[in-house]
Amino acid sequence: MEHITTPKVENVKLLDRYTSRKAASGTLYLTATHLIYVDASAEVRKETWILHHHIATVEKLPLTTAGYPLLIHCKNFHMAHFVIGQERDCHEVYTSLLKLSQPVKPEELYAFSYNPKMSKENREIGWKLIDLKVDYQRMGIPNDYWEITDVNKDYEVCNTYPPEIVVPRAANKAVVIGSSKFRSRGRIPVLSYLYKENNAAICRCSQPLSGFSARCLEDEQMLQAIREANPGSPFMYVVDTRPKLNAMANRAAGKGYENEDNYDNIRFKFIGIENIHVMRNSLQKLLEVCEMKSPSMSDFLTGLENSGWLRHIKAVMDAGVFLAKAVKDEKASVLVHCSDGWDRTAQVCSLASLLLDPFYRTFKGFMVLIEKEWIAMGHKFSHRCGHLYGDPKEVSPVFTQFVECVWQLMQQFPCSFEFNERFLLEIHDHVYSCQFGNFLGTCHKEREDLKIFEKTHSLWPFLLQKKQELRNPLYKGFTAYKELQPNTLPFSFHFWCGMYNRFDKGMHPKQCVLDHLLSCVSQKVKLEDDASELENKLPFLDGPLPTEACSLPKIGSAASRTPMLNTPQDYEGEPPPPVLSNGASAEDMDVMSDVDQKRKENLSHHQDPRGLTDTMDTLASEAKDGKPRHH
């Protein structure tokens, strides 16, 4: 709170950049964790909350006739344009937000003060929810070719890898340690994913310290062990995700890439994903396009193309598809690296796993995938997301690109994922929010040093509590789709308005399809519960058959539950049925007689509840379609 000199400012305007309606007027509050704006002009109390850690930039704009503008850009792509009446208030809010949004010490991050009033036992259970050993066991590891080893338990091999790693059983400790000395930052080849169908593996590492001619016997033995762990293939791929020019520049600095002459039976391939600096600039250009107030179609499409953003998304997707095809179709193992093996390598390995394994498309599986490929393997979340005050050149949207690739897959395969778009957005929000401990720091060792597991909470239990609103109503189940083979032609990639213009309400449809589907699913579940309850009551309806005289009310009751055509548009161009003298149509009488006959049969046998179930199914279908079924 020492950074807050003015906790409350009144008569602050909040501008809406996409509508011409009058600016909101209200009060701005600064708390220890949030900026809160309360709109006093709204009929219903309306609050805008912005987490300090979400703030990317704060900018004071030139004075206007309305006051002193303050422009806030957030890491989750929220933009708030305030106008403050007094220059002093504006400057103090500006200064406070600069300090609050860029803490210097890790202990100042929100996760260390966030207290959801959870017991210590439940917090510990939350951290144990994801167990990577269980995922390796699911793949069939340990087995004859692979083992889980604690050779890195004291971080002697690599200080950015977890204590336990999966390596070929044929690679002894001397080979592991020797290889680590020949790999950048000691990041040796380790298993990422094993495709059980044919024993082909996806492995990951960093670039070799090869320069132009250096070689390492242990590193060559390590790659040979990986290749021989897949007896079904005579070769393995080594994939460098960098553009060839970048890799050659690294070679001049004593690093570089593998020489095919020194490694037996490898096929080397460059993929060509650009570095973190290119990606950061590309995102900035994309956001400038998103913030254009009234662009023409030509301006928007030209800006989108010039940003290069979708081109980069396609490059990452192409790399993931190449890995998946190599493993599934060519039955070959693949070793992947970039420079240090924690940015592009994480993107590509996790995407390939997602394409190959439907488990990773479930709630739990996607959490496991992020823990395994991003958190445990040392993606530098703290640096890439700018959690602390530091070098802005280290910030880059690497994880954002992965999340978008998953969303692009969801557009092509809408029935293959258990979760919906909101699940991706929630995870993306919390990567930057620092509210939970999962994404703090840069590696497992650093999280241990910060006592993350003792002092903070895990995100995953929090998300599972919201499972109902984050589920995909179109999901067909675990076994419906096995491997995914996406189309990566340019027309297959879409601009993700739900991410980059998510907070601009004027840009979204008036009716949300997802909300409607979730509502229909909820209604269907309720109807099924009601049907089940009524079926359970049927055995208690024993008694004499009703007489013909008392059957008419029952006919009316049954007919009233049968879908009727009530309005001209319901006939969809068909002529309405003729109306009889008693006011009912001929079709109605047919329905009545049919229902009457079925009701007699049901009552005489006292045992067949299917008619009721059919009716409930019909109602559920109508609720889903929004129109009655024709009988």
Q: List the catalytic residues.
A: 338
Tokens of 360: 């990773």
- Gyration radius (Cα) of the chain, Å: 30
Distance separating alpha carbons of residues 539 and 541, to the nearest angstrom: 6
Buried b (16+ CB within 10 A) or exposed e, 293-311: eeeeeeeeeebbeebbbbe
Cβ neighbours of residue 579 closer than 8 Å, sequence gap 6 or more: 585
- Reduced to 3 states (helix: H, G, I; strand: E, B; else coil), residue 173 is helix
User: DSSP state, 231?
Assistant: T
Distance separating alpha carbons of residues 414 and 419, to the nearest angstrom: 10
Q: Is the peptide bond before 142 cis (omega within 30 degrees of 0)?
A: yes
Judge contact between 362 and 478, C-beta under 8 A. Answer: yes
Residue 117, amino acid: K
Residue 279, amino acid: M
Distance separating alpha carbons of residues 594 and 617, to the nearest angstrom: 18
Residue 382, amino acid: S
Distance separating alpha carbons of residues 285 and 303, to the nearest angstrom: 8
Cβ neighbours of residue 144 closer than 8 Å, sequence gap 6 or more: 169
Distance separating alpha carbons of residues 468 and 422, to the nearest angstrom: 11
